[in-house]
Amino acid sequence: MADPARARKLAKRISQIVAHAIEHDIKDPRLNHVTITDTKITADLHDATVYYTVLGENLESTPDHAGAAAALESARGVLRTKVGQGTGVRYTPTLAFVADSIPEDAKRIEDLLAKAREADAEVARRATGAQHAGEADPYKPPREEAEDDEFADEETRR
């Protein structure tokens, strides 16, 4: 088992090496819009999972997830070699590529927040002109002095 701090440093270094290799060394056009978001490594430093996202060419185009996954799978050996050269560890970890779900989760959360804002606006719209149920002052009025004197007399008699 490796030190957790060492594992974190190695994972960060693997992310940097893979991102640099995708950007500068691998000439596959399917990887032009791939971004490395995170890397997790096992405690024994033998297996690394690299998380990535794929962006579209512009805001209207849909990203090519299948093409990016195939390109990363075909470049796995080259990337592992680059990681081995760049890290200098005794055993170069195997690489597994997993599409990161952060963009989809963020969109889902944004949609839920938009629905909540609409519901709040509807409640505010319905609340305009509404009246309270019951009396205007729901609290009991304070007792008058005469009532307080009666109770004081009863307590002194006991």
**What CATH number is associated with residue 41?**
3.30.300.20
- Which one, of 81, 3, 88, 94, lies nearest residue 48 by Cα? 94
Residue 148 has pLDDT above 70, yes or no: no
pLDDT for 154 equals 57
- Is 55 within the bounds of a domain? yes
For 32-90, the pLDDT digits (tens) are: 889 999 999 999 999 999 999 998 788 777 888 899 999 999 999 999 999 999 998 88
pTM across the whole model? 0.68
**Residue 21 to residue 76: CA distance in whole angstroms:** 11
- Is 119 within the bounds of a domain? no
Domain membership of residue 7 as a residue range: 2-99
- Is 146 within the bounds of a domain? no
Q: Are 36 and 47 in contact (CB under 8 A)?
A: no
Tokens encoding 71: 């390109």
- Is 32 within the bounds of a domain? yes
- Is 41 within the bounds of a domain? yes
Tokens encoding 35: 């971004």
pLDDT for 100 equals 87
Q: Are 103 and 65 in contact (CB under 8 A)?
A: no
The domain total for the chain is 1
- Is 43 within the bounds of a domain? yes
